[in-house]
């Protein structure tokens, strides 16, 4: 399944490297092309992903995980478009 993780981090001077490392560890197949969104290919549920990541954000930060279904549309670089198309989402 393809999941999208979105976040809004409210402390610009905080070191969020543990969050980014946790995102990379959720799956070996991910795409981080925008500032606050990651696409992750995993069998974990959105709740499981959230539980893996939530300890790395502050209470005033925002974090949400969605399942990506088949409909999507946008403007992307050719390699990014190929990445999405290869996953038939």
Q: Is 61 left (phi over 0), alpha (psi -120 to 50) or beta?
A: beta
For residue 50, the enclosing domain spans: 2-86
Percent of the chain with pLDDT strictly greater than 70: 98
pLDDT score of 3:
93
Name 75's Cβ contacts closer than 8 Å, sequence gap at least 6. Answer: none
pLDDT score of 81:
84
pLDDT score of 89:
57
pLDDT score of 82:
86
Domain count within the chain: 1
**Where are any strands of DSSP class E within 1-89?**
2-8, 30-34, 37-41, 62-67
CB 10 within 8 A of CB 63: no
56's tokens: 């790395």
State the residue for tokens 């946790």: 22
pLDDT in tens, 31-70: 887 889 999 999 999 999 999 999 999 999 999 999 988 7
End-to-end CA distance of the chain: 9
CATH number of the CATH domain containing 25: 3.30.70.240
């Amino acid at each position: 399944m393809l999941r999208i993780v979105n976040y809004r981090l409210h402390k610009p001077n905080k070191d969020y490297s543990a969050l980014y490392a946790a995102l990379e560890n959720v799956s070996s197949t991910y795409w981080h092309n925008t500032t606050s969104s990651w696409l992750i290919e995993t069998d974990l549920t959105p709740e499981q992903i959230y539980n893996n990541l939530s300890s790395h954000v502050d209470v005033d930060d925002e974090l949400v995980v969605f399942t990506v279904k088949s409909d999507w549309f946008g403007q992307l670089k050719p390699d990014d478009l190929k990445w999405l198309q290869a996953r038939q989402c």
